[in-house]
Amino acid sequence: MRLRLLLFCLVPILAFGQTHRCVTDSLHRHKLNTDEQYKQQFLRNSKLAEAYQLMKVATNDTLYTIPVVVHVIYHADNAAVENISDEQVQSQLDVLNEDYNISNENILDVPAVWQPLVRNSKIKFVLANTDTNGNYTTGITRTATNITNAFSIFDNRIYSTVDGGKDAWNSMYYLNIWVCELENNVLGFASFPGTIANSDGVVINYKAFGRFKNTIAPYNFGRTATHEIGHWLNLLHIWGDDNGACSNDDAISDTPKQANSNTRCPSFPKTDACTDTAPGIMYMNYMDYTDDKCMSFFTNRQVERMKLALATSRNSLVASNGLASPNINQKDISIDSIENPVTYSANRCFQPKVKIRNNGNVTCSNITFNYAISAGISKNFLWNDSIQAGETKWVELDEIGGDLGSNLFEVRIVDNDYNHVNNYKSSSFRINNSSNFNCAISSSISIYPNPVTNSDVLAINTNYTESQKAAIKIYSNDGKLVYSNEFKFNPQDKLELSNLNLSAGLYQLEFNGDINHEVKKFVVVNK
């Protein structure tokens, strides 16, 4: 393990205090001053944008689907955390599609005065299916770098395979996202339209890429990428980067002038030197610096500016072959979308619904899904129907329960197939109504089968009305502890314990929760 990683662990408070949310503007100014080609391309693009804006091209309601390639660059001696999982990559795509299409659960927190300004951008981000040579791809590349240190924002080796990074895929047709370790606790940066092609895209620190898994609070909701892709689509920081002078702004007419960036989670309304009357500044906008959980929306004019970029300087993405469906001569089932739960649920218990697609060339049946709410006990569901090659179908899973407030629904296909990257999907949602609880209610746990053979799975049903953490302990008849573990239980969760290797006899199971404490006896018999 390298010394720099050890030092990060020893001084987490110092590191947190020195975190740099975004350095896009610093990199942009550096390139304007040092790279004449970049400067001329940027100026030409700005003039083009101004001309098209006068023609109101950006007001189009076109749905843009952007092919994405994620280049994971990691150090071999820290691969366990830097070489992020496929699920973490997909979780970031899930966040982007929520945030850019107003299906994020905290869209409900937008102050009433600004709700009329909220707009669905209708911009969708999808991992590429086809690479630059027309071959099948998962949309993820992985590179073990020979560079021993973290990358700086000016380090062009990020974009070069021969120098220890990864070459960009043709930036006319793909959004390139590089995920790597960045020095000085920089979270991310991006290129504006008009950037030189080999470095055009977004760079994100692996510690802030994706939702929850392997990320560091308060940047663990995936909003660093939301912010940086806003830059990639030509959005500026909401305060205009003028150091509080109130002379510049973000060139957006429906965002209030703002003196400087905001951090953490301010209270609404908040005013400053540039906007000193209520409702004040728009600190919850994605183009500010607040904590991930506090960012919630783009305005109508911000969406117009992004659509303008897609209609002009980034219009070649429309002709990309990156989303073409390759011929997969194997089994490949993907989870395309989640219909329920998204954004809001009135019920503590509900029936999840997902859309699946058969990307392969064989009919598939008996597909197993595993799903959970907010890291609670996961459930398995066997779908006994079949799906033909090229077909899409909706699948309703068994009922599951969640806690009041913010929740995360995660679902994955358990079966092995050709591409396991697309076997995972997540959605954020909120439960607000505690009175509309439509699960079967019980104040006790149940164990089955009872008796259980020493080779069977022991199932524990918990029909509680409130989520809770609980310790499960199993004692033999002579009082010896034979099993112990802790879990989070949401309403109507089922816990399955396997490989207990218990001898025949009488056992006692203790459930010690934050709310409930119960004891059940069960019998183990030889098979």
> Are residues 377 and 452 both part of a single domain?
no
In a domain, 288, yes or no: no
Q: What is the domain count for the chain?
A: 3
> Are residues 14 and 152 both part of a single domain?
yes
Catalytic residue, from 228, 391, 466, 510: name it: 228
CATH code for the domain in which residue 460 is found: 2.60.40.2550
> Are residues 357 and 473 both part of a single domain?
no
The pLDDT value given to residue 435 = 54
The pLDDT value given to residue 449 = 87
In a domain, 245, yes or no: no
pTM: 0.84
Q: Which two tokens stand for residue 43?
A: 């100026």
Q: Catalytic site residue 228? A: yes
Instruction: Using DSSP bridges, classify how beta strands 343-345 and 424-431 pair: parallel, antiparallel or unpaired.
Output: parallel
> Are residues 63 and 170 both part of a single domain?
yes
Cα–Cα distances (Å) from 465 to 82, 352, 469, in that order, read 39, 19, 13
In a domain, 420, yes or no: yes
In a domain, 206, yes or no: yes
The pLDDT value given to residue 442 = 45
> Are residues 131 and 98 both part of a single domain?
yes
Strand, helix or coil at 436? coil
In a domain, 249, yes or no: no
> Are residues 384 and 510 both part of a single domain?
no
> Are residues 450 and 414 both part of a single domain?
no
In a domain, 289, yes or no: no
> Are residues 513 and 427 both part of a single domain?
no
Q: Which residues contact 508 (CB under 8 A, 6 or more apart)?
A: 474, 475, 477, 519, 520, 521
Please choose, from the candidates 180, 154, 181, 157, the residue with its C-alpha nearest in 3D space to the C-alpha of residue 167: 157
475: which strand partners?
Answer: 481, 508
Instruction: Report d(CA 471, CA 481) in Å as an integer.
Output: 13
Instruction: Report d(CA 105, CA 124) in Å as an integer.
Output: 17
The pLDDT value given to residue 6 = 29
The pLDDT value given to residue 2 = 39
Encode pLDDT of 467-510 as tens digits.
888 899 999 988 899 999 999 888 778 888 888 889 988 998 98
List of the chain residues with pLDDT < 70 = 1-18, 46, 48-60, 433-444, 465
The pLDDT value given to residue 51 = 63
Encode pLDDT of 231-280 as tens digits.
999 999 999 887 778 888 888 999 999 999 999 999 999 999 999 999 99
- Full residue range of the structural domain in which residue 507 is found: 445-525
The pLDDT value given to residue 439 = 53
Residue that finishes a domain, picked among 319, 348, 371: 319
